[in-house]
Amino acid sequence: MQFSAGLRIDSSMRGFRNLISLTYGQKLSLVAAIPLIVAVAAIAFFVAYEARATAEREIQALERRLVEAKKIELRNYVTQARNGFAYIYGRASPEDQAAKTLVTQILSAMIYGKDGFFFVYDYEGNNLVSPRQTEFINRNWVGLTDSDGTPVVDEFIRLARQGAGWHSFMWQKPSTGEEAQMIAYVVGLQDWRWVVGTGVFIDDIVATVANARAEVEARVQRTFLYIGGIVLAAVLIVFASGMLLNFRERRLADAKLKELTQRVFDAQEEERGRVARELHDGISQILVGVRYALDNARRRLSRGDDEGARVPLDKGIENLGSAITEVRRISRDLRPGVLDDLGLGPALKALTDDFRERTGIETEFSTVVFRNRLDQDSKIALYRIAQEALTNIERHSGATHVTIDLRGHKKGATMRITDNGHGLPNGPDRVSTGIGLRNMQERIEQLDGSLRILSSRGARGGTVIEVSLPLSHLLSPQEEDATPKRKAGS
């Protein structure tokens, strides 16, 4: 059981690792999608906050307007009621019980709506009028509070002593028996020491405000859903685009890799063919001559002609020396020892001298000494580019004069190869027409450098190849001193 449990845990861990091991395209899509999600989420929260704040201000303003309208309505009710008994109250004395009874009868009859009524308390807290809640009549209610602990009758008396005022509290609705919020307006009849007032329940206002808040919350939630849908669609589009781009780039990369591999094979075959031709046309012919001379010398020696054998022996030795020289030349072309022993400048000087002697083309090399501070990859790249350029000049340009200039400067190093040949074919694809020029381009791109080719055809034709390497490929003096040097002859 423990073994099977361990297998299940190991399988789960492998599944989790497979889940979190994303491809490069998926990582790229994720990196592109995360800022979008974060930005949209921030915008959504800001929009929701502003929407809620704005809606809350509007709801509070609406509530204030509705409550104010209720207050005005209550004051009008009380004013009308007071006008209804003003002729009695104005003529009666404080001890006129008949007038007081008549006024209580008038106020008891003033009921409106399902829950509207007038109430009367004296300043001692005794209820005198309560037509919809008669159990309150003739009882003292000093100290009465609502369910929230808000004083009711004591506040009525305080406001009446001041003249008039509004008071808000919780009260039982006569029509339903349930508690609801009420706003009351009271006035004081100072001669009789009475509190006369009426109230209106504002549960409809509370319900309206609650509905408004619920509607705002629903709108905010819908906005979140819309934004979420848009973000999801955008993320899916980004992910799909990233996958499509990754698939396309992978196909292009595979195609370029196949093309590059084929070009490497072609270059290898071309180099092998060149070496084979040089061995066949040069060394092989020389060695055949050496063998013929040695055979001739052997035959003469066998006949006892010692003097006659000397001439073919001398010829064979001479030819053997030529073969050794040719082997050294081929070896130098494959990997020049002077490049490692003395540096790029002397290697290019030897290359140009050999080119001038072999082709008869006037060739000049100049350089500004900058202490041979190029790294090894840069020296090899510049040497091979110069070698490739001279080969192209020899085969295709028809030039009679070539100059190579190498110099270091504050931005790096630059090599210029100039000839007076008939130039390259016109058009934007001239760099990609030959494998030699493509090799130059790829070599310098590997080192983050640049290759410029300027060419013109006609009477003033010629080609300029300018190769530039950045400063990062120049060694510091400490690195230069630490670079191992090959011994001469190694």
**Stronger pLDDT, 304 or 161, i.e. the higher one:** 161
Question: What is the average pLDDT score of the chain?
Answer: 79
Q: Which of 420, 412, 422 is nearest to 381 (CA)?
A: 412
Rounded-to-integer distance, Cα 402 and Cα 417, Å? 7
pLDDT at 428 (0 to 100):
46
**If you average pLDDT over residues 187-204, what whole number do you get?**
90
**If you average pLDDT over residues 230-248, what whole number do you get?**
76
Contact 200/182 with Cβ under 8 angstroms? yes
pTM for the structure as a whole: 0.43
Half-sphere exposure of 77 (CA within 13 A, CB side): 24
Highest mean pLDDT: which range of 57-61, 246-250, 413-417: 413-417
Residue 403's DSSP bridge partners are: 364, 418
Highest mean pLDDT: which range of 153-162, 303-312, 350-359, 362-371: 153-162
pLDDT at 28 (0 to 100):
62
- For residue 38, pLDDT over 90 is answered with no
pLDDT at 375 (0 to 100):
78
pLDDT at 159 (0 to 100):
93
CA distances from 93 to 88, 98, 105, 124, 189 (A): 10, 10, 18, 19, 12
Q: For a pLDDT cut of 90, what percent of the chain falls above it? A: 15
Which band of pLDDT confidence, cut at 50, 70 and 90, is reported for residue 432? very low
- For residue 427, pLDDT over 70 is answered with no
pLDDT at 280 (0 to 100):
67
Tell me: the pLDDT tens digits for 321-333? 777 877 767 766 6
SS3 142: coil
**Stronger pLDDT, 464 or 216, i.e. the higher one:** 464
Tell me: the pLDDT tens digits for 93-118? 888 999 999 999 999 988 888 888 99
pLDDT at 2 (0 to 100):
45
Q: Which domains, ranges and CATH numbers included, belong to the chain?
A: 92-201 (3.30.450.20), 340-481 (3.30.565.10)
Residues 6 or more apart whose CB falls under 8 angstroms from that of 481 comprise: none
**If you average pLDDT over residues 21-36, what whole number do you get?**
66
**Stronger pLDDT, 204 or 280, i.e. the higher one:** 204
- For residue 4, pLDDT over 60 is answered with no
Highest mean pLDDT: which range of 25-29, 341-345, 360-364: 360-364
**If you average pLDDT over residues 242-259, what whole number do you get?**
79
Distance of CA 351 to the CA centre of its chain: 50
Beta strands in 136-241 (DSSP E): 164-172, 179-189, 194-201
Tell me: the pLDDT tens digits for 438-483? 778 887 888 888 888 887 665 566 888 888 888 766 665 545 545 5
Highest mean pLDDT: which range of 88-92, 187-191, 282-286, 470-474: 187-191
- For residue 488, pLDDT over 60 is answered with no
Rounded-to-integer distance, Cα 122 and Cα 8, Å? 85
